[in-house]
């Protein structure tokens, strides 16, 4: 499973990139706001060291304007994935941009039917939002499973990019279901390495080693 990092924080991306944990990056208007930087500038910097797909989102609502914005964003680097919302205008944009050879990430997916129609429109990635479904007492992971079944039934090439990842368990469950990609904040990726028994065992080993009075170096 591929790991995309859901942030526009360049330093955080670099840290995980140096560990080989970054297969791509996703951004959105909220993350650009949080970064405090110009969207074209920060996205270009990310693309300068991340070779995998880097999602940059359009902000227009009408297809004609989305297409223009998407083409502008795609000029930043060859690995840009233009991110469009799962609306009818977004699907029109997806069809045009994917037809022109650009990667397209269709975002804000909350149903299997939406994922089906996005694949028909030529989406490179579909981004179902797990955490936001959980927030309204629906099972976000069930949606990942439904999409996996549908895509496998018909050999759609669209990759399932599980988004709105809140916990390490979300990552594990997505891997078990068969999501192609997860995108998560840096803190969630780092949490994958944590376990209370690891910490407890290390504390014990450290204490016992101190009692030996030995040194390795």
Measured distance CA(64)–CA(93) in Å, rounded? 8
Please tell me which residue in 83, 92, 95, 120 is annotated as part of the active site: 83
**DSSP characters over the chain:** -EEEEE---HHHHHHHHTTT--SEEE--HHHHHHHTS-HHHHHHHHHTT--S-EEEE---SSHHHHHHHHHHHHTS-TTEEEEEESSHHHHHHHHHHHHTT-EEEEEEE-SHHHHHHHHHTT-SEEEEBHHHHHHTTS-HHHHHHHHHHHHHHHT---EEEEBS--SHHHHHHHHHHT-SEEEE-HHHHHHTT--HHHHHHHHHHHHHHHHHT----
What's the token pair of residue 86? Answer: 């799962």
Catalytic-residue membership of 190: no
CB neighbours of residue 105 within 10 Å: 29
User: Catalytic site residues?
Assistant: 83
């Amino acid at each position: 499973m591929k790991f995309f990092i859901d942030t526009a924080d360049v330093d955080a991306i670099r840290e995980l990139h140096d560990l080989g944990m970054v297969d791509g990056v996703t951004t959105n208007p909220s993350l650009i706001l949080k970064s405090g930087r110009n969207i074209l500038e920060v996205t270009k910097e990310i693309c300068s060291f991340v070779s995998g797909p880097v999602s940059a989102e359009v902000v227009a609502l009408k297809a004609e304007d989305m297409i223009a914005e998407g083409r502008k964003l795609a000029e930043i680097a060859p690995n840009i994935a233009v991110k469009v919302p799962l609306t009818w205008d977004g699907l029109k944009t997806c069809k045009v941009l994917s037809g022109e050879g650009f990667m397209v990430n269709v975002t804000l997916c909350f149903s299997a039917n939406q994922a089906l129609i996005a694949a028909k429109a030529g989406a490179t990635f579909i981004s179902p939002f797990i955490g936001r479904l959980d927030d309204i007492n629906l099972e976000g992971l069930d949606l990942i499973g439904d999409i996996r079944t549908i895509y496998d039934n018909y050999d759609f090439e669209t990759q399932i990019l599980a988004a709105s990842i809140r916990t390490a368990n979300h990552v594990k469950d997505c891997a078990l279901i068969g999501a192609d990609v997860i995108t998560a904040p840096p803190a969630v990726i780092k949490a994958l390495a944590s376990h209370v028994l690891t910490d407890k065992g290390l504390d014990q080993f450290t204490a016992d080693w101190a009692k030996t009075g030995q040194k390795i170096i």
